[in-house]
Amino acid sequence: MTDTHVTDAGESLAEATSEASLRRSEERSAKIAEQIDKDPSEFRMLTGDRPTGHLHIGHYFGSLANRVRLQDAGVETFIVIADYQVIADRDVAGPLRERVYSLLTDYLAIGIDPARTTIFTHSAIPALNQLMLPFLALVTDSELYRNPTVKAEHEATSGRPMSGLLLTYPVHQAADILFCKANLVPVGKDQLPHLEQTRVIARRFDERYGRARSDQPVFPQAEALLSQGGSLILGMDGTKMSKSKGNTIELRMSADETAKLIKRAVTDSERFITYDPETRPEVANLLRLTALCTDRTPTDVAEEIGNGGGGTLKKLLTEALNEKLAPVRARRAELERDPGYLRDLLAEGNERANAVADATLTDVRTAMGMIYT
């Protein structure tokens, strides 16, 4: 496979193939969604976030709401707070403790149910991390260097030399998914290469240790469930929503802070409001957000506003978003008053994840012939 081959159309082959594979992933995702509706008990889902900041409405509409939906549909769920990933591309991990608890609090506030969902941190699960060693033996260095997400993340660090952990973190992420033998991973399309790497590792492990054609493969083939809609949400300045740009609205913010941020949002000079994602991306973004909060279409919202202009749009969005987030924020405030409860929950999640990871590591060592007692 070459990355540099250029077709007549001037489009790189790598891009063309990834467009095609993206379409395949989308089709596959739609089929899986149907299967989940039929029998959720066939699935075990693993997903997670890096504790690098606070969760915002992009996360909420892009992935969090979907996690809750899957959990409530009866899919067994694991959520990793990926603290070891934080140190892959930075020297300073930041206030980890505060961020880990902020994530946990956000999860609970939006409706993740700790009785049904296991929430844990990487650093508390030794057996998960140990899977990294046999997994690293199954991948080649060029495979790792080719990973487009790793490349993009490395470029984003502008000149910083790539750490060994950044290069190999897709393998660590495979350990996240495979320690609990998850077969379902809801992801954005930027994470698809990691999922493919996970599938390759699972397959190679069972091939190398003679389980591929047995009726007892150690690992399942994890499938991506592509998140819809969320990636369409931009920040209040019309660019990609990102914690570091300060253009986000965080779940933990107050209604007043939310109102201020929306007031400052970028629109355009045309008064009459229309839904035109191509030519009016900033206005379209605010319309989409309003629509998501009120279960309508962006076009409907635009038609209602019409000559009301950007001011009316912002007012509508502020009301809709604050109303949508009010119960989340109330629950969040309540949880924050009980740090002991949060600590116990995390300890419990870690304990459950450890039991699962220990069992998987035993399966792995057994397959490898590395149990000597």
Q: How many CB atoms lie within 10 A of CB 343?
A: 12
Question: In terms of CB distance, is 124 or 317 closer to ligand TRP?
Answer: 124
The least distance separating ligand TRP from the CB of residue 334, rounded to whole angstroms, comes to 27
Encode 41-103 in three state secondary structure: HHCEEEEEECCCCCCEHHHHHHHHHHHHHHHHHCCEEEEEECHHHHCCCCCCCCCHHHHHHHH
Q: What phi, psi does 224 have (nearest 5°)?
A: -85, 140
Positive or negative, the CA dihedral 279, 320, 336, 253 is positive
Instruction: Answer whether 227's CB lies under 8 Å from 63's CB.
Output: yes
| 185 touches ligand TRP by CB under 6 A | yes
The least distance separating ligand TRP from the CB of residue 195, rounded to whole angstroms, comes to 8
Burial of 123 (0-12, 13-18, 19+ CB in 10 A): middle
Rounded CA gap, 220 and 249, in Å? Answer: 37
One of 25, 118, 130, 173 touching ligand TRP (CB under 6 A): 173
| 329 touches ligand TRP by CB under 6 A | no
Three-class SS of residue 241? Answer: coil
The least distance separating ligand TRP from the CB of residue 12, rounded to whole angstroms, comes to 25
| 48 touches ligand TRP by CB under 6 A | yes
| 46 touches ligand TRP by CB under 6 A | yes
| 176 touches ligand TRP by CB under 6 A | yes
The least distance separating ligand TRP from the CB of residue 18, rounded to whole angstroms, comes to 18
| Binding letters toward ligand TRP, positions 73-92, x by CB under 6 A | -------x-x--x-------
Which range touches ligand TRP (CB under 6 A), out of 48-56, 233-241, 245-253, 364-372?
A: 48-56
Question: In terms of CB distance, is 176 or 223 closer to ligand TRP?
Answer: 176
One of 177, 273, 335, 361 touching ligand TRP (CB under 6 A): 177
Q: Which residue has the tokens 């913010």?
A: 253
Give the single-character DSSP code of 10.
S
Question: In terms of CB distance, is 138 or 287 closer to ligand TRP?
Answer: 138
Rounded CA gap, 24 and 38, in Å? Answer: 21
Number of residues that bind ligand TRP (CB under 6 A): 14
| 225 touches ligand TRP by CB under 6 A | no
Question: In terms of CB distance, is 29 or 173 closer to ligand TRP?
Answer: 173
| 166 touches ligand TRP by CB under 6 A | no
| 127 touches ligand TRP by CB under 6 A | no
Question: In terms of CB distance, is 29 or 85 closer to ligand TRP?
Answer: 85
Which distant-in-sequence residues (6+ apart) come within 8 Å of 117 by Cβ?
Answer: 71, 77, 78, 79, 107
| 70 touches ligand TRP by CB under 6 A | no
Residue 329 vs residues 322, 324, 326, 359: alpha-carbon distances, Å: 9, 9, 5, 38
The least distance separating ligand TRP from the CB of residue 192, rounded to whole angstroms, comes to 11
Q: Which of residues 279-298 bind ligand TRP (CB under 6 A)?
A: none
Q: Which residue is nearest to ligand TRP (CB)?
A: 82
16-23 long-range Cβ contacts below 8 angstroms, 24+ apart: 18/148, 21/192, 22/189, 22/192
Residue 54 vs residues 92, 240, 244, 339: alpha-carbon distances, Å: 17, 16, 11, 17
| 154 touches ligand TRP by CB under 6 A | no
The least distance separating ligand TRP from the CB of residue 277, rounded to whole angstroms, comes to 25
| 106 touches ligand TRP by CB under 6 A | no
Residues found near ligand TRP in the complex (CB under 6 A): 46-50, 80, 82, 85, 173, 176-177, 185, 187, 191
